[in-house]
Structure 1
Amino acid sequence: MDIGIGLPGHARWTDGTTLVDWARRAELRGFSSLSVSDRLAWSTPEPLITLAAAAGATSRIRLVTSVLLAPLRANHALFAKAVTTLDQLAGPGRLQLGLAPGLRKDDFVLSDVDYGTRGKQFDQLLDRLAAATAPGDPVGPRPATPGGPALLFGGTSKATLRRIVSRGTGWIAGDATVQDVQDFAPQLRQAWTAAGRPGAPRLVASVMYALGPDAEAAISDAVGSYYAFAGDEYADYGISIAYTRPEQITAAIAAFDQIGCDELIFMGNDPDPAQVDLLAEVIGL
């Protein structure tokens, strides 16, 4: 199982160069992927711009959106151009787009995008992205990756299953538990086989982490604030399933590996780039 790391974009970072430092350190320490999350009504950095900076600072590590709220990109042709441009900057095979329809209405209100039709808009965006990756489309450049970057979809709905088996390479589960993966993976594999797709869908899970003497405070501040919109109970749950001790992290790696995950991404919650090294040391990178 691959081990990736996620930028602390939803935490209280104040200097964008810190995120670039994270990217450099993540590649040097041998993490498989660098991911970035997405929200509009929050201080989270814009994912494609952030990964463009990371692409310029690195040369090998995969670059992942985990996950990008696709329907907010209302100009589908412009979004397709941004994606193919980023794919060119990163080089073949490095960019992987984790995409989801989004849950929070405030993101859509701020975007003047209709929340109720976001699924339909999502599918239209995917159609436009597919067209932009084919020869002859007026929207350029063509992607460096043949056929365009790999697509992973988040969520557990029937629409998610449909998008994965018809357009994607797999599933990406945010802030996941082992049980979450065990609950969804069997129906995903069944749908994949029924659709006649060869092999198996890629399973990627992400979890929250912080390490060091201030780890619990960092988790409480970052995760608690980020999930406060859903109420204290949900925020407390998010805090409770985050990883703050080395033994928790090694146990999580063993557990997600045992159930067949292809990659586990540890999302940062403390902006200090030293967090990259602390995690690398725990897992032996």
Structure 2
Amino acid sequence: MEVGIGLPGHAPWRDGRLLIEWARRAEARGFSSINVSDRLLWATPEPLTVLAAAAAATTSIRLQTSVLLAPLHTNHLLFAKSVITLDHIAGPHRLRLGLAAGFREDDFAASGAPYASRGDQFDALLGRLDDAFHDGAGTGLLPATPGGPPLLFGGTSAATLRRTAHRGDGWLAGTATADDLDEFVPKLRNKWNEHGRAGTPRVVASTMFALGPEAKTAVRRAIGAYYAFAGEEWTQHGIDSALTSDHQIPAIVTEFEQHDCDELIFTGNDPNPDQVDMLADALGR
């Protein structure tokens, strides 16, 4: 199982150069990927912009959105060209595009994108991406990765099953438990097989972490504010389930590995880049 790094974009970062330092250190310490999340009405940085900067600062580590809110990108051709441009900046086979429909109505209201029809908009965007990846869709620019960057889909809906089996390479479980994988992955594999797909879908899960003497404080500061919209019970669960001690790190890797996870992403909650090295040390890298 591969182990990736999630940049702490949801945490109270103040200097974007620190996020790029996370990327440099993640590559130096042998992590499989750099991951960025997406929210419009929060201080999370725009994912494609961050990955473009990370691509220029690194040479080989995989770049992944986990996830990007696809229906907010209502100009589908412009979005396709942005993705293809990033694929060229990164170089072939580095970019993986994790996409989801989104569930926060306020993000859609603020952007002017229709919330009720976001699923239809998502499917239309995927059709335009497919065209652009294979013939340039009139832009004259084909991706550096033949056939375009692999697509991963987030969520647990019937639409997620359909999109992954029909046109995806795998599933992004998000911040999940091994039990969550046991519940959803069999359904995904059944749908995958119904579509006559070869092999098995890639499964990527995430877990929150912070290490060091101020770990618990960092987790409360980052997760408490970010998930406050979901209510006190949900927020407290997120805080309590975050990993804040060295001995928890290898244990969670073993657990997910035993549940057929292909990649586990450790998402930071403290913007200090030293967190990358502390995580690598806890993993024995």
CA positional deviation for 1:18: 0.5
SS at match of 2:77: helix
Determine what percentage of the aligned residue pairs are the same residue: 61
Residues 116-167 of structure 1: per-residue CA shift (max 9 Å, x gap) = 0000000000011111111252124211100000000000111000000111
How many angstroms apart in 2 are the aligned matches of 1:117 and 1:32?
A: 35
The number of residues matched between the two structures is 285
SS at match of 2:175: coil
Q: How does 1:256-267 map to 2 (within 5 A)?
A: 256-267=256-267
Runs of 4+ in 1 over 6 A off after TM superposition: none
CA positional deviation for 1:240: 1.3
Whether 1:237 and 2:237 are equivalent positions in the alignment is yes
How many angstroms apart in 1 are the aligned matches of 2:50 and 2:139?
A: 22
Residues 253-285 of structure 1: per-residue CA shift (max 9 Å, x gap) = 000000110000000100000000000011122
TM-score (norm 2): 0.99
Alpha-carbon contact 1:209-1:269 (below 8 Å) kept: yes
Counterparts in 2 of 1:122 and 1:281: CA distance versus 1, 3 Å: same
What is the letter of the counterpart of residue 118 of structure 1? R
SS at match of 1:131: helix
Alpha-carbon contact 2:128-2:137 (below 8 Å) kept: no
Query: Could you tell me which residue of structure 1 aligns to residue 11 of structure 2?
Result: 11
Query: Could you tell me which residue of structure 2 aligns to residue 131 of structure 1?
Result: 131
Q: How does 1:27-38 map to 2 (within 5 A)?
A: 27-38=27-38
Query: Could you tell me which residue of structure 2 aligns to residue 74 of structure 1?
Result: 74
Counterparts in 2 of 1:136 and 1:175: CA distance versus 1, 3 Å: closer
Residue segments in structure 2 that go unaligned for 5+ positions in a row: none
Query: Could you tell me which residue of structure 1 aligns to residue 246 of structure 2?
Result: 246
Query: Could you tell me which residue of structure 1 aligns to residue 165 of structure 2?
Result: 165
What is the letter of the counterpart of residue 246 of structure 1? D
How many angstroms apart in 2 are the aligned matches of 1:164 and 1:140?
A: 28
Query: Could you tell me which residue of structure 1 aligns to residue 184 of structure 2?
Result: 184
Alpha-carbon contact 1:81-1:140 (below 8 Å) kept: no
Q: How does 1:18-167 map to 2 (within 5 A)?
A: 18-135=18-135, 137-167=137-167
Counterparts in 2 of 1:227 and 1:154: CA distance versus 1, 3 Å: same
How many angstroms apart in 2 are the aligned matches of 1:220 and 1:127?
A: 41
CA positional deviation for 1:194: 1.4
Alpha-carbon contact 1:161-1:191 (below 8 Å) kept: yes
Output the aligned Cα RMSD: 0.8
Residue segments in structure 1 that go unaligned for 5+ positions in a row: none
Alpha-carbon contact 1:64-1:97 (below 8 Å) kept: yes
TM-score (norm 1): 0.99
How many angstroms apart in 2 are the aligned matches of 1:69 and 1:215?
A: 29
Query: Could you tell me which residue of structure 1 aligns to residue 195 of structure 2?
Result: 195
How many angstroms apart in 1 are the aligned matches of 2:153 and 2:77?
A: 20
Alpha-carbon contact 1:161-1:188 (below 8 Å) kept: yes
How many angstroms apart in 1 are the aligned matches of 2:136 and 2:248?
A: 51
How many angstroms apart in 2 are the aligned matches of 1:151 and 1:126?
A: 10
How many angstroms apart in 2 are the aligned matches of 1:240 and 1:127?
A: 40
Whether 1:224 and 2:221 are equivalent positions in the alignment is no
Alpha-carbon contact 1:152-1:172 (below 8 Å) kept: yes
Counterparts in 2 of 1:218 and 1:136: CA distance versus 1, 3 Å: closer
Alpha-carbon contact 1:172-1:205 (below 8 Å) kept: yes
CA positional deviation for 1:193: 1.1
Residues 24-49 of structure 1: per-residue CA shift (max 9 Å, x gap) = 01000000000000000000000000
What is the letter of the counterpart of residue 185 of structure 1? V
Residues 59-114 of structure 1: per-residue CA shift (max 9 Å, x gap) = 10000001000000111011000000000111111000110000111100110011
SS at match of 2:180: helix
